[in-house]
Structure 1
């Protein structure tokens, strides 16, 4: 299952911002880059309680041709990673911009979906992206 359009990181500008300013975490198959949400303060009636607006979390997946020369293999990996991220989406805090870079050894992985899901959970927990940091 693909990520909803509201949760996709699309523009080159957004990808560059995440790579330039985001924090980095590594695992055996992925490098996760995450940019914390920018909180926008709005004027409110009570100055002690500012209202914050946060957009939905946006996620991009980057797979180089170094991972595989075959587009079929890269697209299959991207779909499997997207399905794993789709399961984790309700637990993510709003406003984050995340880029997941797939490493070359991800192609050789046997039990792809469960292993990817477990690694993604660990990376997101290390980055404190989970809502409530659970």
Structure 2
């Protein structure tokens, strides 16, 4: 099961905006790029996620898709704790084809804390 449609980055234009203007946070296995959406309405947009896995990680699509499913599962677990109003692209670094779900969950949680996206931080905190 994937992410809810509201929480997905879809177009290449959205990915490109996050890559160009977003802040970068990295760990051993993951790179997180965050772009805060400055919306004038009182209801901030839900946080949207995109996952990018290069063929440098693995030439096999089966392996890349498994990694995407593991990362999506980790995002689903953390989604209730994530502040709204951000666009996030998660990239995988290097050779992590043997990496387990628990490792992705732990590293993603650390990166989201480092980026101040979870644990009660709201969008107004950053404006």
Unaligned runs of 5+ in 1: 42-51
- SS of match in other structure, 1:40: coil
State the match for 2:4 in structure 1: 4
State the match for 2:72 in structure 1: 82
Q: What are the equivalent positions in structure 2 for 1:44-123 lying under 5 Å apart?
A: 52-109=42-99, 112-123=100-111
Give, in whole Å, the separation in 2 of the partners of 1:2 and 1:68.
21
Instruction: Note if 1:127 corresponds to 2:115.
Output: yes
Q: CA deviation at 1:2?
A: 1.5
Q: TM-score normalized by structure 1?
A: 0.86
Unaligned runs of 5+ in 2: 122-127
Q: TM-score normalized by structure 2?
A: 0.90
Moved over 4 A (4+): none
Give, in whole Å, the separation in 2 of the partners of 1:131 and 1:69.
37
Instruction: Note if 1:37 corresponds to 2:41.
Output: no
Q: Which one has a bigger Cα radius of gyration?
A: 1
Q: CA deviation at 1:9?
A: 0.5
Q: CA deviation at 1:16?
A: 0.6
Q: CA deviation at 1:5?
A: 1.0
Q: CA deviation at 1:131?
A: 4.9
State the match for 2:22 in structure 1: 22
Give, in whole Å, the separation in 2 of the partners of 1:21 and 1:37.
11
